[in-house]
Amino acid sequence: MTSQLTARLDAAETKIAESDIKIAELEAAQPFAVTDINGNTTVTAVDEVVVSVTVQAPVDGQVTVNSTTGEYEPTETAGVRCSITPYTTLNSSYTQR
């Protein structure tokens, strides 16, 4: 009888330890924010990086990246394009206009 109780107690302690690990992982995965700004930047017709942010997720998985832009373009036919990209060139698949 004692050996059965010991085995059940050991199994329960193992499950508790596993649950503690999962809880710690969930706590680490809470939302996080990384921000940067580069205001009043004059850009030319050549694509360039104006703001660069490094995103390091607290746990493995996917992250959601958002950005906003405000621009003033005095020439009617010209425009400003912005994108979120892991590269240093404009990624037209993720363009803001």
Q: By C-alpha distance, which of 28, 90, 17, 36 is closest to 59?
A: 28
Q: Any idea where the domains of the chain sit in the sequence?
A: 1-30, 34-97
Please determine, for residue 96, whether its predicted confidence score (pLDDT) is greater than 70.
Answer: no
Indicate the length of the chain as a whole number.
97
Q: Give the model's pLDDT for residue 15.
A: 95
Predicted confidence band of residue 13 (pLDDT cuts 50, 70, 90): very high
- The per-residue pLDDT of the chain, averaged, comes to 79
Q: What percent of the chain has pLDDT over 70?
A: 94
- Does residue 12 register a pLDDT over 90? yes
Q: What b/e string do you get for 9-44 counting C-beta neighbours within 10 Å, with b at 16 or more?
A: eeeeeeeeeeeeeeeeeeeeeeeeeeeeeeeeeeee
pLDDT tens-digit series, residues 45-54: 777 788 877 8
